[in-house]
Amino acid sequence: MPPIPQGPFKMPQYRDFVPDKIRPWIYLFIAFIFQLSGVFYLGAASHIVGSTSLMREDVMMVGFCNVVGVNMPFPLLFRFKFRFTNRQLLLNAATIVLLCDIGALFTTSMPVLCVLAYLGGFFKLCGTFECMGNVQLWMTPKRDFRVFFPLLYIIVVGDISLSGWMAQVLTYYCGSWQAMNWVMALLLIIVLLLVFCLTKNFRAMKPLPLVSVDWLGCVLWSLMLLEVIWLFNYGEYYNWWDAWMWRLVLLVFVLTTFFNLTRMFHIRHPYISPSAFCYKTLAPTLLLYGVAELMNATPKALENVFTGAVMHWGMLTLSVLNVMGIIGTVLGCLFTLLWMKVWHQSYTRLLIIGFAGLLAYQLMMYFYITPELNLQRLYLPTILRTFGYAIYFTALTIYLEELMPFQHFFMGITMSGFARNGMCEAICCGLFSYGMRYHVADNIVRTMPYEPLQSMLVSVKQMFGIVCLFGVAFLLILLLYDVQPVRSTLKKMPYWNFVGKLTRRDVLRRRAKKI
């Protein structure tokens, strides 16, 4: 089979009656629906707390489980792709995500909800990858990631704001947070019907068995992330070290980490290879992800306190900010595409522009926080924040692909997800919550002429000021840091049939060693 199909772009997994021109668009629609899905939609978090026996921390924990589930499948994606057909993968992924969405409506058990959220996120990513992998050559025939990732992240990052907006609007007009789950269930049923009616089982090569897969490693890495998230998500509720439960989870985290890292060095096929951690600029890249998550955590930890507890703005009023977030995300992804593909400028300058957008949000919020603030003044800061975050998210992923060879690239995405998907956000939100509690109490005990509400407003302003100082200092460091500029000829991504041959050869070699 030639690496690039001869003639026009074809998708042989479709049935013959489906017109060629609409085939890629169907997959884009399916990927769009997958990325919208989630067990709990945090845009309606206040209504979920109010209508169930769950606390705010419980709802956030379920959301974090979904995010961790999204992060973990990357090392397994090609094994799934070469074991199952496209039709099987999409039908199974859509069915499991659908069951998880519906199952969340009929239970308030935290262990069950966390498992449902994790599985929903895991298979949501599997379905998205299968869709986008099939349209990659349609989007960029040369597999140029400077084109592919910006367009991909319009869907991935944009859907984060879109799902929040949909949850808020549907909850307001339908009077129930469950409306979003039912709408997503209907959309997933449409996905199932599309896949069932329009596709067929097609294989480009013989299926590879799922042998030599480190399933236990996947579980251990997931538990490590979830334990860190639990510690910082529930830290304020349990008063940190003072609670035996918090200390117990910390001990379990230490043991899990020790066992996981020790095991990683002593098995043939670890879930994440130790050599994947050895690239010289990987640590700075992960640090950049962590700083971006710190700057992007202030809307949940600080802005929500201001708009909710101080300004008392309602759900429908705040939903427009998610629309501004979608605009900023699209602009950021398209700007990255222009910067790297058309203008051929350096990574460092692009990251500086992205970080400047994140910092501009913090500075504007610091000066905007007053009791007389109107909602329209938050439009521009929200657009700037999501613009900068989209640039960071996209540019660092492209740089990661350039940094790591193909056999470690998807492990690298999982490692970047340790900082990007949930853990850093939970740590930052936990620290911001502790800082808010400290400053509110400090302002009151200093006998300043503040009522509790005024003290909260001043505390939010103080916390934004601290983040601004940190952001300015980091921007100065970033201005002095140099990253190799984008070359005119980037490293090429191998074609799927070549990857399949390498995977088959590796599986046969491992099986021969066992014999």
- Biggest CA pair distance of the chain: 78
Q: Which residues contact 225 (CB under 8 A, 6 or more apart)?
A: 68, 71, 418, 422, 423
Enter the pTM of the model. Answer: 0.90
**What is the per-residue pLDDT across 317-347, written as a single tens digit (0 to 9) for each?**
889 999 999 999 999 999 999 999 988 888 8
The helix-helix angle for 110-139 and 86-103 (nearest 10°) equals: 150
The answer to whether the Cα torsion of 174, 175, 181, 182 is positive or negative is: negative
**What's the average model confidence in pLDDT over 466-492?**
73
Between 130 and 446, the more confident residue is 130
* 345/341 Cα distance (integer angstroms): 8
Q: What CA–CA distance (Å, rounded) separates 353 from 387?
A: 10
Q: What angle do CA 500, 278, 70 make, to 5 degrees?
A: 55
DSSP per residue, 178-221: HHHHHHHHHHHHHHHHHHHHHB----SSPPPP--S--HHHHHHH
pLDDT of residue 512: 61
- State the pLDDT confidence band at 494, using cuts at 50, 70 and 90: low
Kindly indicate the confidence band of residue 495, based on its pLDDT and cuts at 50, 70 and 90. Answer: low
Residue 490 pLDDT > 80, yes or no?
A: no
Residue with the bigger pLDDT between 428 and 330: it is 330
What's the pLDDT tens digit per position in 93-131? 999 999 999 999 998 899 999 999 999 999 999 999 999
383 with 324: CB under 8 angstroms? Answer: yes
Mean pLDDT for 47-55 is 86
**What is the rounded CA–CA span in Å between residue 62 and residue 64?**
5
Say yes or no to pLDDT of 308 above 60.
yes
pLDDT band at 493 (very low <50, low <70, confident <90, very high): low
430, 68 contact by CB (below 8 A): no
Of 2, 22, 3, 125, which Cα lies nearest the Cα of 11? 22
Phi, psi of 46 (to 5 degrees): -65, -35
DSSP classification of residue 24? H
